[in-house]
Chain A
Amino acid sequence: MAFSWKTAGITYLKYTQICARAVRNALKEEQRLIAQKRDEQGIKYAKWENGKQGELKPIVPQQHS
């Protein structure tokens, strides 16, 4: 089994997300509009160090690293 995307530094979860997005984009108009709502994410995260909260950064949905 070869995981070509693995060598490109894409994790399994990223890979499935990209696939899911491709499927969503390939849907018919009506279904696509509903499905694409699930694609949006506004989650932000912050790193903590020694009990101090760092900067809030959004989880960039599809950052092809």
Chain B
Amino acid sequence: MFTLRAIRPVVVNTTQSIGYQNRNYATLKEIQLRLKSINSIAKITKSMKMIASTKMTRAQKAMEIARVFGTTQTGLFTYADTKPTEGGNTLVITVSSDRGLCGGIHSSVSKRSKKFIEENPSSQIIVLGDKAKGQLQRTVRENIKLSFNQIGRSIPTYNEASSIADTILKEKIDFDQAAIIYNYFISVISYEAKIIPAFSVSTFAKSGNFDSYEVEDDVLEHLQEFAFANSIYWGLVEGHAAEMASKRSAMENATKNAGEIIEKLTMTYNRGRQAAITNELVDIITGASAL
């Protein structure tokens, strides 16, 4: 790297001296500039890490609450023994967000979605968040039906989730079962793409233990809407927590790497500086002794 830089034309050249020294000074100056910029990068990533940490604790609290929504929700489908309709319309909802700089969180969900679509090629896709949209539109853009953005600026609210669910239902996207693909928060350092199942009214009405519930027809539709919003809410909040955690560790790594580079550069900088000084000294001494 330094040899490459040394070949570059010297911009700062005020003193009239021989080429070698000139180059040496220029690289020193360049190292200094690099050091400066890397220092500020390290500062930025460090503060981003701090922000992500505080956001993560809040997101985790919200997640604990949202999990209750989600587990109750999926619990109902488990007890009712709901099964996806064979050959029915499938809808994939990929839950991610707009912000980058947070590790592989977006590719995790989009990879899972792509795999899901490979298994069910006719499925329709709804993308939440710009990042996953960017990744999915490259391969499966034909399947995308709706995309949402401006998601995940702060902790997602139930209000937002129900608006999303309402919009999806309002746009008359036909589905018998839906797979909400989100990042499951395992721990602060790990997450995993998982699927929350959601079903349409007709699919739910066909479920195995449906007879053990006493329902009026109207209520069922409302339950389906509510369940759908619940599942989306869970996915959003859990994904948000995972994203913050991942962002924190990504920023931590970035800060660590910047620190390493700073250390290395300082070393070369000091060495170069000393070499230059020694050279000059040698010049002076030889000059003095030649007199």
- A1 contact set on B, CB distance < 8 A: 216, 218-219
Given A11-B166, A14-B166, do A47 and B229 touch, yes or no (CB 8 Å)? no
Give bound CA distance, A1 to B137, whole Å: 45
Q: Contact between A51 and B164 (Cβ–Cβ < 8 Å)?
A: no
Q: Contact between A41 and B170 (Cβ–Cβ < 8 Å)?
A: no
Q: Does A16 contact B (CB under 8 A)?
A: yes
Nearest CB in chain B: distance from A1 CB, A: 6
Give bound CA distance, A51 to B11, whole Å: 50
Q: Quick one: closest B residue to A60, CB to CB?
A: B163
Say what secondary structure dominates the interface of chain B. Answer: helix
Q: Contact between B160 and A43 (Cβ–Cβ < 8 Å)?
A: yes
Q: Does B169 contact A (CB under 8 A)?
A: yes
Q: Quick one: closest B residue to A39, CB to CB?
A: B159
Q: Quick one: closest A residue to B140, CB to CB?
A: A51
Nearest CB in chain A: distance from B137 CB, A: 8
B residues engaging A (CB < 8 A)? 137, 141-142, 144-151, 153, 157, 159-160, 162-167, 169-171, 216, 218-219, 221-222, 225-226, 229
Known: A17-B159, A45-B149. 15 other contacts (CB 8 A): A3-B222, A6-B218, A11-B166, A12-B226, A13-B162, A13-B229, A39-B159, A41-B160, A43-B148, A43-B149, A43-B160, A48-B145, A48-B146, A53-B144, A59-B167
